[in-house]
Each structure stands twice: as structure tokens, then as C-alpha cells.
Amino acid sequence: MLKYVICIFLVFSIYGCLHRHVDKITTFSVNGKVYDKKTGSPVSEIIINFIDTGFDDKRHKRQSPLAIGKSDDSGTINIDFEFWWGRTEGPLKNKPEKTFTVELEADNYQTKRFDYRADDLTRENGKIIVPLGNIYLTSKSLAE
């Protein structure tokens, strides 16, 4: 019986040692232009949010928006930011999905969301390039 208990203890000890918490930093470069859908004019001060949907062990479950910047006076989005995340790694743990959402929001416009998987995007100079392209936002007054 004692050998059985010791064996189980050793198995769980070894299993526990194989799991470790790892902190990581991923750098993103988010680029695009924002326009008013009706007028075609550039829109400034649009808040750009990053939402973790598959990086961090705990944060991705909350999916709370992290404001990373705004569009400038010409509607241009050109944001480089570092996303700090962590997770427990081990032989029986799945690798992170590395999914995220970029959200554009403003008081006068309908919120727009874009879902991505980091492994599907291009990397340049150590940054994951998030090409939003030209985005046309609908005014909330037109949507009602």
C-alpha cells in the first residue's frame, strides 16, 4: 500500500513540475482608415479597442475591451502596442488559440468589430500586422 501511495505521489509531483506559468509579450501594429459611410469623410477620435478572445488564460474569458488608441484627424489608425499576457503551459494543456477582436467605437457611430487569429496574420519586424483597411462607420442617427 505504501508503494502505491508513493507511486501516486511521484506521478502527481512529476506532472505538476511539467506545468509552468509563462508570461509573454506580443506586439501588434493596427492600421487602417475610418470614414463616415454616408458622407465619405474621414472620422477622427474613433476609439480602438483590443479584446483578448484566446491569448491569456484568464483575461480571454472576461473579454473586456482594452483601449489602445484613436483615429487621428484624417481618420487614420496607426497604432503599435504591446499586449502582455500569460498562461499555464504543460503537456496536457492546449496551445493558446491566439484569437482577438479589434473594436471601433464612438458615441455617434455604431460599434464595429473585426475578429482575428494571430497565426493567420503577417509578421513584420517582430510585430503582428493587423490590416483593418478602409472602414465605413454608420451614424447611430441613420441606424435608428
Sheet strand arrangement including 123-124: 76-89, 20-36, 127-137, 123-124
Question: Average of pLDDT values for 84-110?
Answer: 85
DSSP code per residue over 8-23: HHHHHHHHHHH-EEEE
Cell of 133: 483597411
Tens of pLDDT, residue by residue over 41-91, are 999 999 999 999 988 877 667 788 999 999 999 999 999 999 998 887 777
* Domain extent listing, the chain: 22-143
Distance from the Cα of residue 72 to its chain's centroid: 21
**What is the per-residue pLDDT for 128?**
97
Question: Which is nearest to 128 in space by CA: 69, 61, 79, 94?
Answer: 79
Q: Which three cell numbers stand for residue 38?
A: 454616408
What percent of the chain has pLDDT above 70? Answer: 83
Q: What is the pLDDT of residues 3-14, one digit of tens each?
A: 766 656 555 555
Whether domain 22-143 has CATH 2.60.40.10: the reply is: yes
